A and B are shown apart, each in its own frame.
Chain A
Amino acid sequence: MKPVWLLLIWLVIFIIRFQTSLQANRNLDRQADEPITINGRISSQITLQGSSQSFNVGRVRVRTNLYPAYHYGDQLTISGTLQRQVINPILSRFSLMYPRIEKVEAGNNIFIGLKERLEAWYSLILPEPEASLMAGIVLGSKRGLPLEFWQALQKTGTLHIVVASGFNVTVVMGATIFLLAGIFRRSLAIALGIGAVMIYSLMAGMEPAIVRAALMGALAYFGQILGRPSDGLRLLFLAAAAMLLVNPLFIFDIGFQLSFLATFGLILICPRLPKFLPKGMKESIAAQLMVWPVLLINFGQMSLIGILVNGLIVSLVPYVMFLFALPWLAYVPLHLIVVIINYFG
């Protein structure tokens, strides 16, 4: 079959899926500003902001007081007034602010349990924001970063080091393969690297954003070691096409746009940059150049600092990942990252 036909078939399925997804959203639209009761499991990580916590239950974002504390996977009955926030002409976001919540059943997932144990251990040993930064880098957890530090990360274009991003997935895979390459055959090391990424994704709650990052990160890694940019690009487009079939609304997701473009830059631009630049700086330039338009449109800012800051810290992040079992030592690179980001932020 010719590629054109494949593309057409894909397009038809995509449009049908897109329509049905929008319809589901419109159904919720009709209930906006009305009292509703929903039953469901928490399907995202819990984010703590100031005196509140928020999480997703299905399509709805829920915000409530810090306590009682909820966890990924908890089965809840929630009643409140559905609020609608328009993101663009055809899509809106739904939220329940401080609704009445009843916990029906506590979630229990061994990977999430493991993640929470590690998180608690880091916060026993390290001060803030180093403890949250460590949990962010190693576990993709964005639970409790202090607000000022979060803003500094955003300002310097380095938020991707604390959310489960394609970059972190690349680091997990790279670190595992690097550690095991001497012990096992290379193909086995790569297989174990993929296993490590799967555990990483499971611990981060298998959120769509994380699965996407895992796929993109794995692709970026293979795109680079294959050394043939064309193969990498082909894989990237294939993965993006598959993801858009699973959830067509990803196309509006800034995270999706950012990781697609950054991966694109790593595969296509990075190898063409002058050789005298350090590897970290080249990757930083390639990825940042591509994501600029998206950042500019959505956040109204694009900073030249981003390239410099990313270039400075990208080599520290893998080191922190290496030291995942030695948080005492990891304090040094973590503190260095904090100092750099606060200085530029």
Chain B
Amino acid sequence: MVKKLNLLLLTLIGLVLLAWQQWPKPQLKLVFCSVGQGDATLMIYKDQQILVDGGPNNRVLDCLSRHLPFWDRQLELVIASHAEADHITGLIEVVKRYQIDQFLAINEANDTAEWRALNEALNQRQINVRELIKGDRAAIGPIRLSWLWPETAGHELMAWSGGTDPRVLGAKTSLNQFSQVILAGFGEFDWLLTGDIDTKIEQKLVTSSTLLEVEVLKVAHHGSKFSSAPEFLTAISPELAVIEVGKNSFGHPTPETLGRLGQAGAQIRRTDESGDVVIVSDGNKWQVLE
């Protein structure tokens, strides 16, 4: 009996030590998760987190586990930039495993097994899905978010509710052009999340002059040559460009895009080469953790 109590005491001490070791620091942590060919971006300030996209598999769970303390099972905000498999597949398990305060998605359904599974998981956990569009703003703790895209709310009914059949896009329309584009900031440090937009949308963003110079850019569409146009890069002049990419048959990231990013004066980091790309900032200075 005494032996059992000692073991229990030892375990409790271990628990306290691990909590102390994993206690979050009061700084911004921006993580581009290495999840293969797909996007998953995590933003952390103390015990608050925002997750944008979940990648093409369940590796986002490992990324969350690496960067969140073990007792934190709550995500303050989860965003699906658009409903394609390489952005939402990992979110299905995230929804099942974490308590999610807010879930944002564009009001477009996608007739795939992944979309249906995600929608079902959201309904099961009774999480309401909301849509934010161009001009909308939000804040999670000291992290500011403002929406640059999509332009208009899609439909009256949210595609993401149980019951009614979702309206499904025609085969010719790509979901990429509805990708959420989010400008985020923490103090003086700004970064831009672009989903999978192409040069057509980039051009619209440039002409609407909603862009401003940022420190870090999440390169659109895994480094596709149909994204990251020179005018767009000039408008935001990123110091660091992060490409979320893995093994793929599309040739991502393309030499054209890598060349344009270099010409714009951006340093390049790729999740397929560096693993998780982790950036920390105190709101003034920022650095990439090696």
A residues at B contact (CB < 8 Å)? 48, 50-51, 65-69, 120, 123-131, 144, 146, 148, 319, 328-329, 331-333, 335-336
Q: In the complex, which residues of chain B have a beta carbon less than 8 angstroms from the beta carbon of A336?
A: 14
Distance from B234 Cβ to chain A, minimum over Cβ atoms (Å): 36
A129 to B65, CA, bound (A): 8
Taking a contact as CB atoms under 8 Å apart, the answer to whether B89 and A51 are in contact is: yes
Taking a contact as CB atoms under 8 Å apart, the answer to whether A124 and B18 are in contact is: no
Identify B18's interface contact among A128, A148, A331, CB under 8 A: A331
Q: 11 A-B contacts, Cβ less than 8 Å apart?
A: A50-B36, A51-B57, A66-B58, A128-B61, A131-B97, A146-B59, A146-B61, A319-B7, A329-B15, A333-B11, A335-B18
| B96 at interface by CB-CB < 8 Å | yes
Q: In the complex, which residues of chain B have a beta carbon less than 8 angstroms from the beta carbon of A335?
A: 18, 70
Chain A, Cβ-Cβ closest to B10: A332
Known contacts A69-B117, A120-B96; is-contact A125 B73 (Cβ 8 Å): yes
Q: In the complex, which residues of chain A have a beta carbon less than 8 angstroms from the beta carbon of B44?
A: none
A51 to B93, CA, bound (A): 13
Q: In the complex, which residues of chain A have a beta carbon less than 8 angstroms from the beta carbon of B73?
A: 124-125
Distance from B285 Cβ to chain A, minimum over Cβ atoms (Å): 30
Interface code B1-39, partner A: CB below 8 Å = 1, 0 otherwise?
000000110011011001000000000000000001000
Taking a contact as CB atoms under 8 Å apart, the answer to whether A128 and B65 are in contact is: yes
Q: In the complex, which residues of chain B have a beta carbon less than 8 angstroms from the beta carbon of A124?
A: 73, 96-97
Taking a contact as CB atoms under 8 Å apart, the answer to whether A67 and B114 are in contact is: yes
Q: In the complex, which residues of chain B have a beta carbon less than 8 angstroms from the beta carbon of A51?
A: 36, 56-57, 89
| B113 at interface by CB-CB < 8 Å | yes
Known contacts A124-B97, A129-B62; is-contact A332 B89 (Cβ 8 Å): no
A135 to B35, CA, bound (A): 23
Taking a contact as CB atoms under 8 Å apart, the answer to whether B117 and A332 are in contact is: no
Identify B117's interface contact among A68, A125, A144, CB under 8 A: A68
Known contacts A51-B56, A65-B113, A67-B114; is-contact A331 B70 (Cβ 8 Å): yes
Taking a contact as CB atoms under 8 Å apart, the answer to whether A332 and B65 are in contact is: no
| Size of B's binding interface in residues, CB under 8 A | 29
Taking a contact as CB atoms under 8 Å apart, the answer to whether B64 and A127 are in contact is: yes
A131 to B64, CA, bound (A): 13
| B68 at interface by CB-CB < 8 Å | yes
Distance from A8 Cβ to chain B, minimum over Cβ atoms (Å): 53
Given contact pairs A123-B93, A124-B97, enumerate 11 new A-B contacts (beta carbons under 8 Å): A51-B57, A66-B57, A67-B112, A67-B113, A68-B113, A123-B96, A131-B97, A319-B7, A329-B8, A329-B15, A331-B18
Known contacts A127-B65, A146-B59, A146-B62; is-contact A66 B89 (Cβ 8 Å): yes
| B200 at interface by CB-CB < 8 Å | no
A260 to B56, CA, bound (A): 40
Chain A, Cβ-Cβ closest to B17: A332
A224 to B46, CA, bound (A): 52
A130 to B269, CA, bound (A): 30
Q: In the complex, which residues of chain B have a beta carbon less than 8 angstroms from the beta carbon of A129?
A: 62, 65
Taking a contact as CB atoms under 8 Å apart, the answer to whether A332 and B64 are in contact is: no
Distance from A332 Cβ to chain B, minimum over Cβ atoms (Å): 4
| B148 at interface by CB-CB < 8 Å | no
Chain A, Cβ-Cβ closest to B117: A67
Identify A126's interface contact among B11, B70, B114, CB under 8 A: B70
Interface hub of A128, A146, A148 (most chain B Cβ within 10 A): A128
Q: In the complex, which residues of chain B have a beta carbon less than 8 angstroms from the beta carbon of A127?
A: 61, 64-65, 68, 70
Chain B, Cβ-Cβ closest to A125: B73
A326 to B16, CA, bound (A): 16
Q: In the complex, which residues of chain B have a beta carbon less than 8 angstroms from the beta carbon of A331?
A: 15, 18, 70
Q: In the complex, which residues of chain A have a beta carbon less than 8 angstroms from the beta carbon of B204?
A: none
A131 to B62, CA, bound (A): 11
Interface code B174-185, partner A: CB below 8 Å = 1, 0 otherwise?
000000000000
Taking a contact as CB atoms under 8 Å apart, the answer to whether A332 and B62 are in contact is: no
Which B82-141 residues sit within 8 Å CB-CB of chain A? 89, 92-93, 96-97, 112-114, 116-117
Chain B, Cβ-Cβ closest to A148: B62
Q: In the complex, which residues of chain A have a beta carbon less than 8 angstroms from the beta carbon of B56?
A: 51
A126 to B8, CA, bound (A): 19
Taking a contact as CB atoms under 8 Å apart, the answer to whether B58 and A332 are in contact is: no
Interface code B62-76, partner A: CB below 8 Å = 1, 0 otherwise?
101100101001000
Interface hub of A48, A123, A130, A148 (most chain B Cβ within 10 A): A123
Chain B, Cβ-Cβ closest to A68: B113
The 6 closest A-B pairs by CB, nearest first: A127-B65, A332-B14, A67-B113, A51-B57, A128-B65, A68-B113
